Structure 1
Amino acid sequence: MSVEQAPNPFETTSHPATHARAIGDTHGDAHGAHGAHGAHAGSPQNRRYVLTLALAALGIVYGDIGTSPLYSLREVFLPEHGLRPTPDNVLGVLSLIVWSLVLVISVKYLVFILRADNRGEGGILALTSLVTPAHALRRGRWGLIILGLFGTSLLYGDGMITPAISVLSAVEGLEVLTPRFAPYVEPITIAILAALFFVQSHGTAKVGRVFGPIMVVWFATLAALGVWHVAGAPGVLGAVLPTHAVRFFVDNGWTGYVVLGSVFLVVTGGEALYADMGHFGARPIRWAWFGLVLPALLLNYFGQGALLLANARAIDNPFFHMVPAWALLPAVILATVATVIASQALISGAFSLTLQAVQLGYSPRVRIDHTSATERGQIYIPSVNWALMIACIGLVVGFKNSTNLAAAYGVAVTTTMAITTLLFHFVAHERWGWGHLKAGALTALFLTIDLAFFGANVLKIPHGGWFPLVIGAVVFTLLTTWKKGRQVLSTRMREMVLPRAGFLESIAAHPPHRVKGTSVFMFGDTKGTPPALLHNLKHNKVLHERVVFLAVVTQEIPQVPPEERVTVEDLGHGFWQVKLRYGFMEEADVPAALAAIERDGLSFKPMDTTFFLGRETLIATKRPGMAVWREKLFALMAQNARPATTFFRLPPNRVVELGAQVEL
């Protein structure tokens, strides 16, 4: 293996804040008095910059939660729940929605969770890295890593369901326009999803510029529809009092608890906004939420409640029944566009998550295409794209309508949210210095809410909730098998590796014939001799006049500053050790990094440099390490991994591969 992985999969090291955090929002804006380009945090220049990012965040960060009004309230009053849309029930459900948005999104995520960033990057992997430094592993923190990985795995199931349920619920608005469209809802949804995935290879940089303005129109529409109906029944605003939620549970008992699984649909975008923090920073995300998204959502839910108070029969699709007949078709089109934007955010998130998994050593190398020369994070991963497309279309065909899909939605997200809360406790106590009482009390509050939602969603498992759990279990198995397999393979390779010091002494005592040029042997063990070098010397009896041992190291920080990228060590007798360091959000371009090295006696000319790589054939055995079935799975994954030549951007005509068999 030519990439050196640090022994701790999440250990972080310090490095300067990147441009994405230049607005001074690291750790909840607690640090940094100056903004982008040196502007003061309160200056007009900085405010305009933050506002611009807040506008862009509307489409990427809030697409999921912003399209929840299409189906959330409808799912609460499904006939099978046995809950009639009486005035007391409507006010009780609205109160639950209001306080869910306030406590889960506004307080938990926007106020507290966004403070827990890994050098500006968010998401459950970043949170896990903050609580599992190297010394923590000696205190038995592997359990937290397992939790973090499982939560990450569940996000793939979420990424499959969100595009399907969002687009399907929007297209179902055509049935409100006329029942004649009913047979065409499913084919139209499939066509839209297929088109969405087929355009991914062209990149979303240009399309992304219009996401924000379109979502401004969408949220403005949500607010306008809500205000229109609330004006006819202003008493619905009384649902802001939590007493209505309490009374709802008292009156409905077990049924009231069951419908929490549907109420949860209004907050499913919480993890997504945390994961996207690295693209925009915490402050623009907060500005967008409190300035537009939260007011628009609350007004629309209140408006749907006002509609139900006036006409309980509108419960079959309250969102589209809010719309005047003359505006119904434009509303369906706008809703469909908004759901496509929401789906795009989830797809892009899956790409970013896969890149992180590859760089952190939890996934084999895959093809990763950059679709923008200027915007970081604009990537396209074909294998992930087509897998998501097949899954999304399969979900539409299998579940038929958004109501059936809603029965499968929420189990994975609630699990991830509960894991996030547990990890947050360790960050607050150990990183921020909170006392046990303060950290414990806040964690207990959040965890009580998370577990209440989790319990209600567990009831969905027989009705489709098993799907994201199965997807999460499969992804978790693949991630952990690859990581464990790499560790076993590394152990087996070390058993065969000759110590570098002994090899160099042997070369000094018995120098072989040297030929012109530079040979680069990619090998992660900086204390050992690359097996490819020994094979080459054994069979060809020669060495190049410059021999470079190259290790490519992925560090557990998002980006590595250019000045820290390269380390060169002269080993004597024409031998050199070179280390290239990259962050887990970066891709390695080995030729470009080597071309920048200018040292006495060492330079890299493309036509005089040959890269030697080892290619291992893996054989499953009963030796201690992994179960045989996992060894076979690991060998299969390794066989189908992207070749190191393309992954590290090596020139194919300058690469020599030398094979060996390794028993796992």
Structure 2
Amino acid sequence: MDKAQDRKRLATLTLAALGIVYGDIGTSPLYAMKEVFAGGHHPVPVTPENILGVLSLFLWSLIVVVTIKYVFFIMRADNKGEGGIIALMTLALQKGTPGSRSQRLLVMLGLFGAALFYGDGVITPAISVLSAVEGLGIITPAFDPYIRPIALLVLVGLFLFQRQGTASVGALFGPVMVLWFAVLALLGGLAIAANPAVLAAVDPRHAFAFLQHNALLGFLSLGAVVLCLTGAEALYADMGHFGARPIRYAWLGYVMPALLINYFGQGALLLADPSAAENPFYLLAPEWGRYPLVLLATAATVIASQAVISGAFSITQQAIQLGYAPRLAIHHTSDKEIGQIYIPAVNWMLLAAIVVLVLEFGSSSRLAGAYGIAVTGTMLITNLLAIAVAVRLWHWSPLRAALGALPFLCIDFAFFAANSLKIPEGGWFPLAFGLGIFTLLTTWKRGRELLARRLAEEGMELRPFAAALAADGAGRIPGSAVFLTTNPDSVPHALLHSLKHYKALHERVIVLSVRVFDVPYVPEIDRVEISALPGGFFQVIVQYGFKDEPDIPAALALCPPEMVTVDLMDTSFFLGRETLIPRLGSAMAYWRALLFIAMFRNAGSATAFFRIPSNRVVELGAQVVL
């Protein structure tokens, strides 16, 4: 019975992974081959030798980069089951010396990789939906003027739907993608059967011959070849949702074979008809099947876009928990799935950037110039972080780790270098977008550290303070007071202001701080640490992982009743509200201080973020010079 249940659960997770994980890489056949042979960026002449060479590059790129690197190697580096570049960064930081140069470098790499993910998250929906809708232009040129408006309508509808959550349509994602990959394999298989000579591209010598004989053009073509790999990072990033086994099974048993059959089918079509390079994907289908294929492709690209958007929400939540981003309003769209969240600020930021992209670039071919640089940059950073994990956690020698990663580094660097030449043609956009996000993340982290230092300079130690008040017999009023602070050993400024104004303390004073650890989840049994201090003071530390949902009232309910019992109707929560003042010559550049202050003022409410009842909150202000 257990084995049968395990197989059923594995099958269910594998189907779900098909719907979420493989949307991005699964829609690459819409544009990857077209961009190599008919794109606006150094198209390759459509000759039999070039077709076989490019197909061989597609095949071996998918095998080496996706299958060997991600499926069999990178996915071993899981942080309590979680994957993704943030999880990989926290793994790499676990065994280092806090504050050291190597630690700071790893943080910078991880944050920049996460920032590049946002750049990729802007382009993926735009290029995917545009490439799907462009199939209408293949059916009849009469649709050409309407391609951009239809794509915008689909994209705006997708982002407007985010607030409803994906739970209602999530069950459809898996079956739709199963159908999508089946259609990919069917169309490709029919073309291969008509021209089986294309199977010669399995021989990697065709790839080497193509690069050797075409020299510069072969190198430049890597900027389009890499489009077949877009979405590979999702295999690792979504590992926490489904586990490694379902993702591996889905890739090896269904997704990769379907993709390769379709790419080889497109190659077989080009061998028979070089003019089909204008859109080999749609021209694989018979005329009667192109309308339903456009509808299916649009559905698949919407699913691919949904996966990227959900990933952006998830990374933002992790960045907030780890202290790299200000608090933002987070709405939970499912009562059952903790990972299904909606962040309005991120949603509208992505939509605005995508609308600008579609209006500015207008076609998938022009957008292909902007695509790839963020993907390859993230792949390079993943390699470097994986080396650090291998050395620090797996106890590999630095030489062994470097030599093991060297083939992947060379391949990823070649793709990155080829894409870097497209920076003037649009590649600047994801870099600029990512750099902007990186600046915000690092500014917030640095500003919070500086603010904590300024507050600590004026702070007092908690234990002597509590002992002194107990000895002096300060006035008491019934009930409990909870003071939130970042430093559990220091007296919160809000407590000092409260005592100054009210000349009394509550009979129970709880000094509460929140710690976020570099693990995805903290077990409930370890959620709360509590220490009793003199004079009715209690020091409470609430512990979360970077994917846990903060809930202060729920955490306080876990306090041992023999130590302290918190009745929410008889408890006041005191929060400090600092007014920040910039100054020249501080430890932070003046422009960054102004940026941090703007972010600080617009950060979400701690009341909502920690789920504190708003009618039990008292805020006390103070001025802090940065």
Q: Report the Cα distance in structure 1 between the residues aligned to 2:467 and 2:329, rounded to whole angstroms.
A: 40
Partner of 2:256: 294
Q: CA RMSD in A?
A: 1.3
Gaps of 5+ in 1: 1-37
1:116 paired residue number: 77
Q: SS at the partner of 1:626?
A: coil
Paired letter, 2:521: Q
One-letter amino acid of the structure 2 residue matched with residue 74 of structure 1: K
Corresponding residue for residue 56 of structure 1: 16
- Pairwise mapping of residues 284-323 of structure 1 onto structure 2 (< 5 A)? 284-323=246-285
Amino acid across the alignment from 1:101: L
Change (3 A) 1:308 1:604: same
Deviation per residue, 1:5-48 (Å, 9 max, x gap): xxxxxxxxxxxxxxxxxxxxxxxxxxxxxxxxx94xxx333222
- Give 1:92 deviation, angstroms: 0.5
2-structure distance, mates of 1:529, 1:99: 60
Structure 1 residue 460 displacement after superposition: 0.6
Counterparts of residues 623-642 of structure 1 (less than 5 Å): 623-642=585-604
- Which residue of structure 2 aligns with residue 85 of structure 1? 46
> Residue 436 and residue 614 in structure 1: after superposition, are their counterparts in 2 closer, same or farther (change >3 A)?
closer
- For residues 130-529 of structure 1, the aligned pairs below 5 Å read 130-133=91-94, 135-137=96-98, 140-141=101-102, 142-529=104-491
TM-score under structure 2 length normalisation = 0.98
Q: Which amino acid aligns with 1:143?
A: L
In 1, distance between residues paired with 2:324 and 2:225?
34
- The amino acid of 1:96's aligned partner reads L
Q: 1:80 to 1:471 in 2, by over 3 A?
A: closer
Q: CA deviation at 1:435?
A: 3.7
Structure 2 matches for 1:3-14, cutoff 5 A?
Answer: none
Identify the range of structure 1 (477-486 vs 623-632) with the bigger mean alpha-carbon deviation. 623-632
Task: Pick closer, same or farther for the CA change 1:136–1:500 going to 2, 3 Å.
Answer: closer
Distance in structure 1 (CA, Å) of the matches to 2:389 and 2:467 = 48
Tell whether the 8 Å contact from 2:474 to 2:504 is kept in structure 1 after alignment.
yes
- 2:580 aligns with 618
SS of residue paired to 1:559: coil
- Counterpart of 1:29? none
Q: Distance in 1 between matches of 2:95 and 2:529?
A: 22
Q: Deviations over 1:43-101 (max 9, x none)?
A: 33322211211110012111000000000000001365252111111001000000000
498-507 or 378-387, larger mean C-alpha shift: 498-507
Deviation at 1:261, TM superposition (A): 0.3
Q: Report deviation, 1:538.
A: 1.0
Matched, 1:47 2:45: no
Please give the secondary structure, in 1, of the residue aligned with 2:288.
helix
Q: Structure 1's 323 and 568: CA in aligned 2 closer, same or farther, altered over 3 A?
A: same
The residue type paired with residue 641 of structure 1 is: A
Letter in 2 for 1:605: D
Aligned partner of 2:36 among 76, 81, 101: 76
User: Percent identity of the aligned residues?
Assistant: 56
Equivalents in 1 of 2:463, 2:342: separation in Å?
A: 43
Deviation at 1:138, TM superposition (A): 5.8
**Partner amino acid, structure 1, of 2:24:** D
Question: 1: CA distance between counterparts of 2:591 and 2:401?
Answer: 42
CA offset at residue 631 of structure 1?
0.7
Shift of 1:506: 2.0
Counterparts of 1:504 and 1:575 in 2: how far apart (Å)?
7
* TM-superposition CA deviations, 1:429-481 (whole Å, max 9, x none): 33223344432222110000000001100011000000000011100000000
Separation in structure 1 between the aligned mates of residue 199 and residue 65 of structure 2, nearest angstrom: 20
Which letter maps to 1:166? S
Question: What is the one-letter code of the residue matched to 2:7?
Answer: R
Aligned to 2:546: 584
Q: Is the 8 A contact 2:95 2:393 kept in 1?
A: no
- Asked if the contact 2:127/2:364 (under 8 Å) is kept, the reply is yes
Amino acid at match of 2:110: G
Q: Does 1:535 align with 2:535?
A: no
Change (3 A) 1:546 1:436: closer
CA distance, structure 2, for counterparts of residue 325 and residue 135 of structure 1 = 60
Q: Distance in 2 between matches of 1:266 and 1:46?
A: 33
Greater CA drift, 123-132 or 330-339: 123-132
Distance, in Å, in 1 between the alignment partners of 2:570 and 2:392 is 52
For residues 607 and 366 of structure 1, the distance between their equivalents in structure 2, rounded to whole angstroms, comes to: 27
What is the DSSP-based 3-state SS (H/G/I as helix, E as strand, rest coil) of the residue aligned with 1:512?
coil
Deviation at 1:598, TM superposition (A): 4.1
1:97 partnered with 2:58: yes
How far, CA to CA, are the matches of 1:427 and 1:512 in structure 2?
Answer: 53
Contact 2:467 2:535 in 1 (8 A): no
Structure 2 vs 1, CA of residues 312 and 147 (structure 1 numbering), >3 Å: closer, same or farther? same
Q: Distance in 2 between matches of 1:178 and 1:384?
A: 37
Q: Which residue in the other structure is 1:14 paired with?
A: none
Task: Report Cα offsets for 1:356-375 as digits up to 9, x if no partner.
Answer: 00000000000000000111
TM-score, normalised via structure 1 length = 0.92
State how far apart, in whole Å, the 2-side matches of 1:421 and 1:454 are: 13
Return the alpha-carbon distance in structure 2 between the equivalents of residues 618 and 186 of structure 1.
Answer: 45
Matching residue of 1:35:
none
Q: Secondary structure at the match of 1:536?
A: helix
SS of structure 2 residue aligned to 1:599: coil
SS in 2 for 1:638: helix
